């Protein structure tokens, strides 16, 4: 498992805190028999790959390995790994989340760096698309977690599925089934919103 993890040029990739050299260690730790080590790795991956809701170039490269762990029955606590992947699918670009508070300041700062807000937003949008495309390759592996025991996991998975309108025909069925039995308000609202979003598009 994870045979190709070290083949990725992590030193050239960036996450929230700089070079993504720690990603291989953290990904491997998710499969550890030590629960504390797993939980620490999960928290650190959330922090660096989805910092304050933002995704990065290293995020997309980590996704296939996270799915490899999720698909393995030997991986402990796979529901929390599904939570991480689902949360990544709903990630945004850093500037899209932050520039609305002080757009002129950001324009000045970026100009000093030799770029523009528009160029950086476009670059970030490409990163977000890449992350979602990578998750979309195996998004069906998240569907079973619509019935997880943790409502925050159910809610995160529902929000993630809404990012794939082209697959509405297959995703509406489990979402509708989940809506029929959901009792937690956070998950029920997420499922309801995702159903509405997917129903906006013609079924393929």
Is the pLDDT at 202 greater than 70, yes or no? no
pLDDT digits (tens, 9 = 90+) for 23-79: 999 999 999 999 999 999 999 999 999 999 999 999 999 999 999 999 999 999 999
CB-CB contact of 161 with 175 (8 Å) = yes
Q: Are residues 158 and 69 in the same domain?
A: no
Measured between alpha carbons, how far is 48 from 15 in angstroms, rounded to an integer?
6
Identify the band that residue 101 occupies on the pLDDT scale cut at 50, 70 and 90. Answer: confident
Same domain, 71 and 153: no
169 lies in some domain = yes
Look up the domain containing 200 and give its range. Answer: 142-204
Calculate the CA 150 to chain-centre distance: 18
Evaluate whether residue 197 is within a structural domain.
yes
Q: Looking at the structure, tell me whether residues 87 and 152 fall in a common domain.
A: no
Per the confidence metrics, is the pTM higher than 0.75? yes
Whether 80 and 20 share a structural domain: yes
What are the tokens at 107? Answer: 């324009």
- Segment 116-139 shows an average pLDDT of 95
Q: How far apart are CA 72 and CA 188, in angstroms?
A: 29
pLDDT at 204: 42
Residue 41 sits in the same domain as residue 129? yes
Q: Give me the number of domains the chain comprises.
A: 2
> Are residues 63 and 131 located together in one domain of the fold?
yes
Which among 180, 145, 149 has a CA at the least distance from the CA of 161?
A: 145
Asked if 154 and 56 sit in the same domain, the reply is: no
Q: Within this chain, do residues 86 and 163 fall inside the same structural domain, yes or no? A: no
Residues 155 and 191 both lie in one domain: yes
Task: Output the CA angle 131-160-187, nearest 5 degrees.
Answer: 155
Please give the biggest Cα pair distance in the chain.
54
Question: How many helices (H) does the chain have, and how many strands (E)?
Answer: 10, 4
First-residue to last-residue Cα distance in the chain: 35
User: Which residues contact residue 100 at a Cβ distance below 8 angstroms, ignoring those fewer than 6 apart?
Assistant: none
The answer to whether position 109 is within a domain reads no
Q: Name the nearest CA neighbour of 159 among 175, 140, 176, 170.
A: 175
pLDDT, position 203:
42
CB 92 within 8 A of CB 131: no
112 domain-assigned:
no
């Amino acid at each position: 498992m994870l045979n190709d993890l070290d083949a990725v040029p992590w030193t050239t990739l960036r996450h929230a805190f700089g070079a993504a050299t720690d990603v291989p260690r953290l990904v491997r730790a998710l499969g550890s028999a030590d629960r504390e080590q797993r939980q620490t790795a999960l928290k650190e991956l959330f922090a660096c790959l989805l910092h304050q809701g933002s995704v990065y170039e290293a995020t997309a490269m980590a996704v296939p390995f996270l799915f490899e762990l999720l698909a393995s029955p030997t991986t402990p606590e796979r529901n929390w790994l599904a939570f991480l992947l689902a949360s990544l699918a709903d990630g945004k670009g850093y500037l899209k989340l932050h520039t609305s508070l002080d757009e002129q300041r950001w324009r000045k700062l970026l100009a000093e760096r030799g770029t523009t807000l528009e160029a950086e937003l476009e670059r970030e949008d490409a990163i977000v698309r890449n992350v979602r495309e990578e998750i979309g390759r195996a998004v069906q592996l998240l569907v079973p977690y619509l019935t997880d025991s943790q409502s925050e996991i159910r809610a995160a998975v529902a929000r993630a599925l809404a990012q794939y309108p082209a697959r509405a025909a297959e995703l509406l069925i489990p979402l509708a089934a989940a809506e029929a039995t959901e009792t937690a308000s956070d998950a029920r609202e997420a499922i309801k919103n995702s159903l509405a979003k997917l129903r906006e598009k013609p079924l393929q």
